[in-house]
Amino acid sequence: MTYDELEGYLDFGHPYHPCYKSRLGFSLEDNDRFGPEFAHPIQLVWLAVNTELLVTNTTQEFGYASWCRQYLGDEIYEQLCERLSQYELAVEHFAFVPVHPWQWQATLIEALTPLMQTHQVVYLGEVGMEYYAQQSIRTLVYHPTDNKKHALSPSPYLKLAMHLVNTSSTRILAKHTVLNSATITHWLKTLVANDKQAVDLQVNFLGEVMGVSLNHERLQQQGYHHPAIYGGLASIWRENVHQYLGQGQSAFPLNGISYIQPNGKPLIDSWLQRYDMADWVGQLIDVTVTPIIYMLFAQGIALECHAQNIVLVHDDGYPIKVLLKDLHDGIRFCPDKLTHPNTKPILEQLPQAHARLNRGSFIETADDTAGIRDMTVACLFFVAFADIAIFLQTHYHYSEAVFWQQVADSIYAFAQRYPEHQSRYQCFDLFAEKTRIESLAKRRLFGDRDFPIKWLDNPLSQFKLKQG
Give the Cα separation of 223 and 216 in Å (integer).
11
As beta bridge partners, residue 237 has 158, 210
**Which amino acid makes up residue 285?**
I
Locate all alpha helices (DSSP H) within 58-132, ordered by sequence.
Answer: 64-72, 74-85, 101-103, 109-117
Q: Is the pTM of this model over 0.85?
A: yes
Higher pLDDT, 149 or 404: 404
Q: Is 282 helix (H, G, I), strand (E, B) or coil?
A: helix
Give the Cα separation of 211 and 56 in Å (integer).
5
Give the Cα separation of 468 and 412 in Å (integer).
9
pLDDT digits (tens, 9 = 90+) for 281-300: 999 999 999 999 999 999 99
pLDDT digits (tens, 9 = 90+) for 59-75: 998 899 999 999 999 99
Give the Cα separation of 226 and 216 in Å (integer).
9
Q: What is the dihedral of CA 66, 70, 72, 77, to 10 degrees?
A: 50
User: Model confidence at 93, in pLDDT bands (50, 70, 90)?
Assistant: very high
Q: What is the mean pLDDT of the chain?
A: 91
CA-closest candidate to residue 411, choices 365, 376, 384 = 376
Give the Cα separation of 305 and 178 in Å (integer).
19
User: Model confidence at 342, in pLDDT bands (50, 70, 90)?
Assistant: very high
Locate all alpha helices (DSSP H) within 366-399, ordered by sequence.
Answer: 369-376, 386-396
Per-residue pLDDT for 199 more than 90? yes
Per-residue pLDDT for 340 more than 90? yes
Higher pLDDT, 127 or 211: 211
Q: Which of 11-25, 217-231, 245-259 has the lowest mean pLDDT?
A: 11-25
Per-residue pLDDT for 138 more than 90? yes
Q: 444-450: which pairs have CB atoms within 8 A and are 24 or more residues apart?
A: 444/18, 444/19, 444/22, 444/167, 444/168, 447/357, 448/168, 448/169, 448/357, 448/358, 448/359, 448/360, 448/361, 449/356, 449/357, 449/358, 449/359, 450/359
Write the burial class of residue 21 (CB in 10 Å: 0-12 exposed, 13-18 middle, 19+ buried). middle
At residue 241's C-alpha, the angle toward residues 20 and 268, to 5°, is 60
Residue 42's H or E segment, with its range, is strand 42-50
